[in-house]
A and B are shown apart, each in its own frame.
Chain A
Amino acid sequence: MCQDCGCGLPGENPVGISAHHLDHDHDHDHDHPHSHTHSHGEADHDHSHGDAVGQHRVLEVRQAILEKNERLAERNRGFFHARGLLVLNVLSSPGSGKTTFIRETIRLLGKRLKTGVIVGDLATDNDAQRLRESGAPVVQITTGTVCHLEAEMVAHALKQLDLKGLELLIIENVGNLVCPASYDLGEDLRVVLLSVTEGEDKPLKYPPMFQSAGVAVVSKMDLATACDYNREAALANLRRLAPNAPVFELSAKTGQGMDAWCEFLVQQHQMLKTRDPLSA
């Protein structure tokens, strides 16, 4: 049997094996230091190799490990686009101020964009209760022990959200700068928060998350002086990881910078209307 493509084994079921035929020649390398050419003219021939790996039938897969999530995320994305919904996936470490930021965003947007929220936490619906103060429809996902939201959880939560007239959906992910980076939820924009209290080098410590940011928000700017926030360093680090992401420096508490942020969201929503429905 050929070790690379699995062809040449008599009577084997070819499911999951890449399209190879018996009547061809090819080169292949093995994990041990020799390579050779042989032809598969006959159904079986044998050659022995000493190591445990490489003696068995090879099934080529070449599939993303999170393929299922990616498929479901694209399904969510299609659903969102069809409804003209702008969708944000808001990510940060715990305590960066996501919930207050989202609540104030909804309050300031007022009637300009009708907003709904899906919020993920390991336990409690405290965040959902705080967010309901804004008057927006809110669905809480409690993940139990799972440290991130997945596309499937969002799809389930959507069934419980009143989508009538909704223009903006904000998904508040579980507070975590590691795992949620790997899971697409079908959002238009990934919004990654960095609070001034966390240290300017946070983006360098968690590169995959900040690399994936579509928008960066520096939150709690009202505490900048008290925390000796080094603005130059923080912005330089954000630019290094996410050079194309617009940066908003703001304070949800004092309202500083919130107008520019809300204006940006209204613009993004306007752009949705002119988007080609079949483009990505």
Chain B
Amino acid sequence: MARNSFVSPQPAIYLERVEPGPGRLPGRFVVFGETMHELSIMQSALDQVLEKARQAGANRVHAIRLRIGALSGVVPDALQFAFEALADGTPAQGAQLLIEDVPARFWCATCAREFAATRMFAECPDCHRPSGELRAGREMELTSLEVD
């Protein structure tokens, strides 16, 4: 039995008009839809940042530390770009985004050792067998904030 259904979830990011203010062009549109992956990931991170800051009674966010794994599929430069666009007008505007890269590490069950990935794929340098067990490198973590 076929059913006709159509789900249209709300887009994660809306068209946003910047109000005229110091250093801003009047009527400029900042975020005009979600075009890259990092934008939605940064939006999730920023939501957490603003919530934590609010809970702690902070007025401003000065620094945000993230850990981003080499195999997370996220490009740190694109996160930086997304952050600047999204943080505009929030208490995190102008905060430093400090990104710690986490290298990919795999486990070789045959040699019972951990090894770093070379060129993104997992081949044990001793036995040359591929490993399917990723121990580090997929992280996308909000580590800490500096606020006041």
A157 within 8 A of B: yes
Instruction: Tell me, in angstroms, the Cα distance from A146 to B56 when the chains sit together.
Output: 32
Quick one: which of B67-114 are within 8 Å of A by CB? 71-74, 96, 98
- Give every chain A residue within 8 A of B35 (Cβ-Cβ): 145
CB closest chain-B residue, reference A162: B3
The one of B56, B63, B123, B130 in contact with A17, judged by C-beta atoms closer than 8 angstroms, is B56
A34 within 8 A of B: no
Evaluate contact between B72 and A182: CB separation under 8 angstroms. yes
Question: Using a Cβ cutoff of 8 Å, how many contacts connect chains A and B?
Answer: 178
- The tally of residues in B whose CB lies under 8 Å from a CB in A reads 56
Evaluate contact between B55 and A16: CB separation under 8 angstroms. yes
CB closest chain-B residue, reference A159: B7
- The tally of residues in A whose CB lies under 8 Å from a CB in B reads 62
The one of A69, A157, A179 in contact with B73, judged by C-beta atoms closer than 8 angstroms, is A179
Evaluate contact between B37 and A61: CB separation under 8 angstroms. no
A240 within 8 A of B: yes
A222 within 8 A of B: no
Given contacts A136-B2, A147-B37, contact A240 B121 (CB under 8 A): yes
Evaluate contact between A13 and B2: CB separation under 8 angstroms. no
Evaluate contact between A143 and B33: CB separation under 8 angstroms. no
Interface, chain B (partner A; CB < 8 A): 1-3, 5-9, 11-12, 33-37, 40-41, 44-45, 48, 52-53, 55-58, 62-63, 66, 71-74, 96, 98, 119-123, 129-132, 134, 138-148
